[in-house]
Amino acid sequence: MRVQLWLAVAACALMAGAGAIHADDKADIKAIDDFKSEPFKQYEREDKMRSLAKSGSAEAANKLIELLADDYVHIRDAASDILIEMKGDPVHPSLARALSHKNAEIRWRAAEVLGFRLAADAVKELAEKLRTDKDLLVREACARSLGAIGNEEARKALQEGLKQGGASSGACARALGQLGQADAAERMEKLLSAKEWQAAVGALDGLALLGPDAHVKAVARCAASKDWRVRIATAQCLARLTQAPAVAEARAAMTELLKDDDWRVRRRTVEALVDLWQAASVELLIAALGGEKEFIVHDIVNALELLSSERKGYSAEGWKMWWEGSKKELAAKPKRPLQGWLKAPLAGQLAQSGSGDSTVFFNVPVLKQNAMFVFDLSGSMRDPVSRSDTRIKFDLAREELAKTLSALPKGAMFNVGAYRYSSQYPPQTEWMRAFGDGVRDATPAHIKAANDWIAKVEVKGWGAFYEALTLPLDDARVHVIYFMSDGAPSRGTYVKRENLLAALRRALRFSPVTINTVTIANKGRDIEFMEDIGKEGGGACSKPLN
């Protein structure tokens, strides 16, 4: 009897303990909540989040899941990263329950975390949300995660998602392509005619991963799509062709894509021909060089130089004579850069083009392109340039901008902007531009208006790089971004550098602007980050104070 009584008491104690929050968890959760409305306590808040995760408890996981929809968007990304690495048996069940949260932001982020964790025990819940969730971001995140998990049950769910159709079927097609699911190819081909661009792009990506040769006719027809993203994905899919008959079949489509009215499509098609790396690439690019009237001539010449290891300048006739007189042999193909083949020409190369570099912005060549000049408005931009130069940093920016605008190439268009992330709670953001309707002609009146506008801009708040670099993409006429900062991001969607660079690469896929950076930072790591951003955008990084 005593033994039975002791066991009953012990069971009650265990049950009571299971529902109680550990003292350390309670302290961390209180600090996270207390710091919520303190703008200058967000770094400490992240420290408490990492401390909380160490417990591995359900309470800790649930709190971190709650932060996936925090008022500070960088905290959401930090919570995702912490949950990805968090250890403890309650983590997967907590994330699986979060797939049914009323907040769609929490649902898609929880789905994404489960994928990074390769949570095979959550496949059933992910499959259910892929099938039923009303939010496209959630369904796409579920498809990506099922593709990452990749077991038999996950593949079956993706096949069902592909059959279901709709925008999220594109994410299913892409995931199945990554898994090498060849028996899904026929259904992917049928999806190419979907009305949703996401579905068609995903199907093209899936076929590209599986090998598009057997589907070249259907893929080539997508070159006539009304959506520029589908046309870009078409060029990128055709770049995966390996068989001569299929390449010959695709030539007409590639020719049309090189003539596309949308500069974004033409630029990505040039890059796709480098990826293709065949004799047809050279022939198509030489034919396009004579007809290209915009800055994409630089991309074509760069592509021809990569393919041939030759320097024949900007004359289509010169390249044609060389190709016909050579043995039509291509250079050895180098490893593809992570950010792709596109890059801005150097000043010396511009002189050969005949158009020249009529001006510079902090020593970065400015071409005849539609330019967006974007500035970091963080409070440190009010600091002196250096001990010997007492001008504030933002005055340096204003002075250089005025010089550049006064000498813009004839026919160029421009705009000036800044993204403000205020240092208050709740956080407020503002995308400010000299011209709210987009780029304007570089007339004296517009130049004066831009200089007057930036003279009145107040320098305060936090640095948010991702928004500053991607909001200009909303204006499809912007060809190039010049981004100036004196540090690194402390707010915005992404603060972690590798996350920001990866997200930027995704954003640039369908908006292949060139990004040039100007850094007046003092820290080596901040300078390296601005160099990485410039590299990601195929541009240059100027360091005027170094």
Sign of CA dihedral 510, 516, 522, 528: positive
Domain membership of residue 433 as a residue range: 351-542
Structural domain contains residue 408: yes
373 shares a domain with 338: no
- Confirm if 191 and 220 have CB atoms less than 8 A apart: no
Where do we find the tokens 């987009």?
A: 438
- Confirm if 422 and 416 have CB atoms less than 8 A apart: no
Q: Kindly list the distances between the CA atom of residue 295 and the CA atoms of 301, 339, 532, in Å, as whole numbers in the listed order.
A: 11, 20, 23
372 shares a domain with 336: no
Q: Which of 342, 374, 402 is the last residue of a domain?
A: 342
493 shares a domain with 397: yes
Please name the helix (run of DSSP H) or strand (run of DSSP E) that holds residue 331, with its range, or none.
none
Structural domain contains residue 481: yes
| Cis amide leading into 427 (omega within 30) | no
505 shares a domain with 397: yes
Structural domain contains residue 32: no
In whole angstroms, what is the distance from residue 262 CA to residue 258 CA? 10
Structural domain contains residue 159: no
Give the pairing type, strands 359-361 and 429-433: unpaired
3-state helix, strand, coil in the chain (%, to 5): 60, 10, 30
DSSP-derived 3-state class of residue 514:
strand
Domain of 265, CATH number, reads 1.25.10.10
If one counts every other C-beta atom within 10 angstroms of the C-beta of residue 112, the result is 23
382 shares a domain with 276: no
Structural domain contains residue 279: yes
303 shares a domain with 437: no
Angle formed by the axes of helices 91-98 and 104-116, nearest 10° = 140
Measured at the alpha carbon of residue 451, what is the angle toward residues 449 and 456, in degrees to the nearest 5? 95
473 shares a domain with 356: yes
Structural domain contains residue 28: no
pTM for this prediction = 0.93
In whole angstroms, what is the distance from residue 341 CA to residue 350 CA? 18
Domain of 496, CATH number, reads 3.40.50.410
The distance in angstroms from the start CA to the end CA of the chain is 82
In whole angstroms, what is the distance from residue 225 CA to residue 195 CA? 10
418 shares a domain with 532: yes
401 shares a domain with 364: yes
Over residues 254-282, the pLDDT tens digits come to 999 999 999 999 999 999 999 999 999 99
Sign of CA dihedral 13, 16, 19, 22: negative
Q: What's the structural domain count of the chain?
A: 2
Residues paired with residue 365 on neighbouring β-strands, in sequence order: 360
Please name the helix (run of DSSP H) or strand (run of DSSP E) that holds residue 36, with its range, or none.
none
The pair of three-digit structure tokens given for residue 429, joined into one six-digit string: 């953001």
420 shares a domain with 529: yes
Q: Which of 308, 342, 376 is the last residue of a domain?
A: 342
517 shares a domain with 451: yes
Structural domain contains residue 180: no
Where do we find the tokens 């990554």?
A: 178
Structural domain contains residue 445: yes
Measured at the alpha carbon of residue 242, what is the angle toward residues 236 and 247, in degrees to the nearest 5? 75
In whole angstroms, what is the distance from residue 112 CA to residue 116 CA? 6
Strands (E), 142-232: none
What residues contact 243, with CB distance under 8 A and at least 6 apart? 213
Q: What is the pLDDT along the chain (546 residues), one digit of tens a residue?
A: 444 434 443 344 333 344 456 778 999 999 999 999 999 999 999 999 999 999 999 999 999 999 999 999 999 999 999 999 999 999 999 999 999 999 999 999 999 999 999 999 999 999 999 999 999 999 999 999 999 999 999 999 999 999 999 999 999 999 999 999 999 999 999 999 999 999 999 999 999 999 999 999 999 999 999 999 999 999 999 999 999 999 999 999 999 999 999 999 999 999 999 999 999 999 999 999 999 988 999 999 999 999 999 999 999 999 999 999 887 889 999 999 999 999 988 765 665 655 555 789 999 999 889 999 999 988 889 888 888 888 899 999 999 999 999 999 888 999 999 999 998 899 999 999 999 999 999 999 999 999 999 999 999 989 999 999 999 999 999 999 999 999 999 999 999 999 999 999 999 999 999 999 999 988 899 999 999 999 999 999 999 988
444 shares a domain with 404: yes
The pair of three-digit structure tokens given for residue 291, joined into one six-digit string: 């007809």
The pair of three-digit structure tokens given for residue 480, joined into one six-digit string: 């190039």
Q: Which of 284, 308, 342 is the last residue of a domain?
A: 342
